[in-house]
């Protein structure tokens, strides 16, 4: 099954989002955001992983962990 962002006819657009603790606020409506590591689109309905500190979205938990490990520790 194709997601909305995979169908160019659907008019899929990238959303602008502010990531908060446990939630996010949509500033500009759209159907997806991009993964900060892979650049892959993430349907807003599937968005589960992000960094409040970095304001980045991640497609999977594994990608989120990889990004966290790469960051300099405070």
Q: What b/e sequence results for 50-66 when a residue is b if at least 16 CB atoms lie within 10 Å of its CB, and e otherwise?
A: beeeeebbbbeeebbee
Task: State the CB neighbour count (10 A cutoff) for residue 5.
Answer: 21
* Cβ contact 42:59 at 8 Å: yes
pLDDT score, position 72: 84
Give residue 57's Cα distance to chain centre: 3
Q: Is the pTM of this model over 0.85?
A: no
From first to last of its 74 residues, the chain has per-residue pLDDT tens of: 444 444 444 678 999 999 999 999 999 999 999 999 999 999 999 999 999 999 999 999 999 999 999 988 76
């Amino acid at each position: 099954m194709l997601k909305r962002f995979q169908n160019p006819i659907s008019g899929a657009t990238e959303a602008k989002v502010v990531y908060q603790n446990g939630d996010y606020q949509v500033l500009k409506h759209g159907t997806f955001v991009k993964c900060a590591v892979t650049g892959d689109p993430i349907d807003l309905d599937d968005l589960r992983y992000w960094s409040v500190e970095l304001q980045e979205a991640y497609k999977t938990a594994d990608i989120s962990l990889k990004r966290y490990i790469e960051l300099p520790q405070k």
